Structure 1
Amino acid sequence: MSFRMKFGVSVATLVVASAAFAQTPAAKPTRIRGDIVSLSGDTLTVHRRSGDTVKIDVKQDVKVSAVKNIKLSDIKPGSFIGTAATTGTDGKMTATEVVVFPESARGTGEGHYAWDLGPNSTMTNANVDTVVESTNGRDLKLSYKGGSNSVVVPENVPIVTFLPAARTDLTAGKKVFVVAAPGKDGEYAAQRIVVEKDGVAPPM
């Protein structure tokens, strides 16, 4: 495979993987977070954070990705990010994680909507207009189609970007984030997967 073909495959993988952060209000997938028990054939068994164990059908064409840590300083004006955040009683949003999308995925899932990472959690996929250093980390002014908001990103918040991964990375004990469609008999069909790699677990 030529370098150009390899590069194209990697970019395509990252674009699809980025959609794990890009569920619009109209789409209501199930987001599964937990630890891999096993991958047997096309069946991925995951022990969820909630305590139950579920089986997920993983077709051969389902894209698998990973994440790597980057620095808070890597978020620049013009970056396109997705950030889960909680809103305090003062109405201010504080990030609980941030993903910086590859440029090829700019615009994916753009908007501000409810998220299920925790109580009062939201997801904002938006362009970073300004970055201002503060005593609490950095204040980001975000804009998206139809609106804008601001979020404080503390220094200790996970900040990641996507890496390509493969089915062979779906091994027992690794943490995983799966966007899946509910299926029959309590099973699910995976749409996209983000798996722990090199010790970095998906924070979303």
Structure 2
Amino acid sequence: MTFRIKLGAALMAAAFANAAFAQAPATTPTRIRGEIVSQNGDTLKIHRRSGDTVSVDVKPDVRVSAVKTMQLSDIKPGTFIGTAATTGADGKLTATEVVVFPESARGTGEGHYAWDLGPKSSMTNANVDSVVQSTNGRDLKLSYKGGSNVVTVPPNVPIVTFTPAEHSDLTTGKKVFIVATPASQGSYVAQRVVVEKDGVVPPM
């Protein structure tokens, strides 16, 4: 298998991992955002942004990916993206992060739904129909099955795409975004992991 094929497969796996993050099943898994404070075999201790520390079991077969930075100018009509956004008092959406999907992952998690990144937060996975320069950044007109909306992306918002990572990248001090299921009080079993790599922190 060539490196190009391996990389493509890894990106596809990462993209489908994001689908798991975005699509809330009947029993919604827990999204864990925080920093690795210790490691014992397959078990990570994560200090969460909420202030508590939890144990997360990361089995050897769990997918691990990272993200790399992209530019706002990389988002063009026809790009498929996922963006978390907040709703202002005027009802307008302002992006807090953007994930650019590879073309092979078009349609991943498509739709518009609630998200837990902050108050009045939502997630939209959609096609970019148009990009218009505005005083606050760029306005993206997005369309998805069943609807459309406009999201303003300010210049300072993190814009990333997925890149391969290994379990060996899960080291103390790294920031992580983990989708996990509860196992017992204060402990979880990871389903998907996105880890900080080359200084780029998962923004989702």
Does TM, scored on the shorter chain, surpass 0.5? yes
State how far apart, in whole Å, the 2-side matches of 1:119 and 1:189 are: 26
Residue 146 (structure 2) aligns with: 146
Residue 135 (structure 2) aligns with: 135
Percent identical pairs in the alignment equals 75
Q: Aligned residues, how many?
A: 204
Letter in structure 2 aligned against 1:109: G
Residue 123 (structure 2) aligns with: 123
**Any idea what SS the aligned residue of 2:23 has?**
coil
Per-residue displacement from partner, 1:68-113 (whole Å, max 9, x unpaired)?
1110000011111111100111111000110101112111111111
Moved more, 52-61 or 14-23: 14-23
The CA deviation at 1:37 is: 1.2
Residue 177 (structure 1) aligns with: 177
**Any idea what SS the aligned residue of 1:51 has?**
coil
Gaps of 5+ in 2: none
Residue 82 (structure 1) aligns with: 82
State how far apart, in whole Å, the 1-side matches of 2:50 and 2:4 are: 43
Residue 113 (structure 1) aligns with: 113
Per-residue displacement from partner, 1:146-204 (whole Å, max 9, x unpaired)?
11111100011000101000100000001100011112233111110010000010011
Moved more, 114-123 or 21-30: 21-30
Gaps of 5+ in 1: none
Residue 201 (structure 1) aligns with: 201
| CA RMSD, Structure 1 to Structure 2 (Å) | 1.6
Conserved? CA contact 1:18–1:162, under 8 Å: no
Residue 52 (structure 2) aligns with: 52
Letter in structure 2 aligned against 1:74: D
Conserved? CA contact 1:24–1:109, under 8 Å: no
Moved more, 14-23 or 180-189: 14-23
Per-residue displacement from partner, 1:2-31 (whole Å, max 9, x unpaired)?
446524542443333333542236451111
